[in-house]
Amino acid sequence: MFTGETNQVSLMQCLIYKEMARAGLIHCPGANEPDLTKCFFCLIELEGWEPDHDPWLEHSKRAGDSCGFLSLSKSFDDLTVEEYYELEMERVRIFLSKTGQSVINAYEKEVAATTQRLVGHFVNKYQYAPEPDPATPAATENDMPTTT
């Protein structure tokens, strides 16, 4: 059985979700981020929502001009097929770029961790001393700070 207070909270949540959706934001909570939202277009993530926050304004402040959804000069429902197609192509380009960069970053992090484990293994087992990185020249006496 619903109380008046529960109905009021549900109505407030509906209004909040409607405003979030108008601003292009999707609620995608995580264990540590219960109010996390993400723009379906630019994929910016926003959290730490306060009751007086305006989703469109907060999205605009954080995304600037980089969000094609916020930059639309007309209502989403009034787009021509060609305009919608161009917008969708831009959305997919952003999605692939961010997703690809995320995969590359995870791969590079794993390569660095594996390299460190292998070097540690060879140093311990064979007393191997890795050669200095040629990109980082060794310090010389001329590099030392001088005092006058």
User: Which residues in this chain contact Zn ion in the complex, by CB under 5 A?
Assistant: 39, 41-42, 63, 67
Strand partners, 25: 39
* Smallest distance from Zn ion to CB 15, Å: 21
* Smallest distance from Zn ion to CB 67, Å: 3
* Smallest distance from Zn ion to CB 42, Å: 3
Measured CA to CA, the distance from residue 24 to residue 30 in angstroms comes to 19
Contact between 15 and 2 under an 8 Å Cβ cutoff? The reply is no
Token digits of residue 119: 């070097």
Four-residue CA torsion sign, 72, 73, 77, 80: negative
Closer residue to Zn ion (CB): 37 or 41: 41
